[in-house]
Amino acid sequence: MRGETGRANLFTRRAFIVGGAQALLTAGLAGRLYQLQVVESERYTVLADENRINMQLLPPARGRIFDRFGRILAENRLNYRLVVVPEAALDLDAALSKIAALVTIEDHDRERVLREARRKEVFVPIMVRENLTWEEVSQIEVNAPDLPGVMIDVGRRRLYAFGADTVHIVGYVGAVTESELTDDPLLSLPDFRIGKNGAEKTLETSLRGEAGARQVEVNAYGRVIRELGRRAGRPGDDHMLTVDLGLQQYVAARFGDESGSAVVLDIHSGEILALASLPSYDPNMFTAGISNQQWRELISHPRFPLSNKSITGQYSPGSTFKMIVALAALEGGEVSPGHRFYCPGYLELGNRRFRCWRRHGHGHVAMVKGLTQSCDVYFYEVAKRVGIDRIAAMAERFGFGRTLDIELPGEKPGLVPTSDWKLAAIGEPWQGGETLVVGIGQGYLLTTPLQLAVMVARIANGGIAVQPRILGETIRDGQPLAPERPAFPTMGMSPAHLDIVREGMLNVVNDPEGTAYRARIEEPTLAMAGKTGSVQVRRISESEHRSGVVKNEDRPWKERDHALFVAYAPIERPRYGVAVVVEHGGSGGSVAAPIARDILREVQRRDPSARAPLLAPAVRPSESA
pLDDT at 436 over 80: yes
Top-ranked range on mean pLDDT: pick from 17-26, 142-151, 450-459: 450-459
What confidence score (pLDDT) does residue 552 get?
Answer: 67
pLDDT at 343 over 70: yes
- In the chain, % of residues over pLDDT 90: 58
pLDDT band (50, 70, 90) for residue 622: very low
Q: Which of 52-61, 281-290, 390-399, 564-573 has the lowest mean pLDDT?
A: 52-61
Judged by DSSP in three states, 276 sits in strand
Task: Decide the pairing of beta strands 238-241 and 65-66.
Answer: parallel
Q: What does the pLDDT look like over 268-295, one tens digit per residue?
A: 999 999 999 999 999 998 876 777 888 8
How high is the mean pLDDT of the chain?
Answer: 87
Mean pLDDT of the region 92-111? 88
In this predicted model, which residue has the larger pLDDT, 475 or 454?
454
Q: Is the pLDDT of residue 224 over 70?
A: no
Q: Estimate to the nearest angstrom the gap between the alpha carbon of 104 and the chain centroid.
A: 34
Task: Please report the pLDDT score of residue 551 as a whole number.
Answer: 67
Q: What is the pLDDT of residue 261?
A: 97
| Cα 22 off chain centre by | 75
Whether residue 215 is predicted with pLDDT greater than 90 in this model: the reply is no
Contacts of 49 (CB under 8 A, 6+ apart): none
Measured CA to CA, the distance from residue 395 to residue 406 in angstroms comes to 19
Q: Kindly state which CATH superfamily the domain 245-589 is placed in.
A: DD-peptidase/beta-lactamase superfamily (3.40.710.10)
Cβ(230)–Cβ(58) below 8 Å: yes
Residue 509 pLDDT > 50, yes or no?
Answer: yes
How many other C-beta atoms are found inside a 10 Å radius of the C-beta of residue 27? 10
Where does the pLDDT of residue 621 fall: very low under 50, low under 70, confident under 90, or very high at 90 and above? Answer: very low
What residues does each domain of the chain span? 59-239, 245-589
The CATH superfamily assigned to 59-239 is Penicillin-binding protein 2a (Domain 2) (3.90.1310.10)
Q: Could you give the angle at which helices 322-332 and 388-397 cross, rounded to 10 degrees?
A: 110
Q: Categorize the per-residue pLDDT at 232 as very low, low, confident or very high, splitting at 50, 70 and 90.
A: confident
Cis peptide before 570 (omega within 30 of 0): yes
What is the model's pLDDT at position 47? Answer: 46
b/e per residue, 234-264, with b = 16+ CB within 10 A?
ebbbbbbbbbbbebbbbbbebbeebbbbbbb
Q: Which has more pLDDT, 505 or 625?
A: 505
Q: How far, CA to CA in Å, does 355 sit from each of 197, 388, 542, 559?
A: 43, 19, 10, 19
What phi and psi values does residue 147 have, to the nearest 5 degrees? -125, 70
Cα dihedral 179, 182, 187, 189 in deg (nearest 10): 90
Choose the catalytic residue: 259, 277, 310, 319. 319
CB 198 within 8 A of CB 408: yes
Q: Which residues contact 108 (CB under 8 A, 6 or more apart)?
A: none
d(CA 177, CA 577): 40
Asked, as a colleague might, if the bond just before 613 is cis with ω within 30 of 0, I would say no
Q: Give me the percent of the chain exceeding a pLDDT of 70.
A: 87
Kindly report the pTM of this predicted structure. Answer: 0.83
Residue 625 has pLDDT above 50, yes or no: no
Give the residue, 342 or 48, on which the prediction is more confident: 342
Residue 213 or 330, more confident: 330
Note whether 370 and 319 are within 8 A (CB).
Answer: no
pLDDT band at 589 (very low <50, low <70, confident <90, very high): very high
- DSSP for 515-580, written as a single string: TTGGG---SGGG--EEEEEEE-SSPPPHHHHHHT---GGGS-GGGSPEEEEEEEE-SSS--EEEEE
Q: What is the bridge-based pairing of β-strands 72-84 and 150-159? A: antiparallel
Quick one: pLDDT at residue 599? 98
pLDDT for residue 171: 96
**Cβ contacts of 164 within 8 Å, gap of 6 or more:** 252, 280, 281, 282, 283
Asked if the model's pLDDT at residue 342 lies above 60, the reply is yes
Residues 41-90 have pLDDT tens digits of 665 554 455 456 666 677 888 999 999 999 999 999 888 888 888 888 88
Q: For residue 325, which of 428, 416, 425 has the smallest C-alpha distance?
A: 416
pLDDT of residue 447: 98
pLDDT of 624 above 50: no
622 counts as catalytic = no
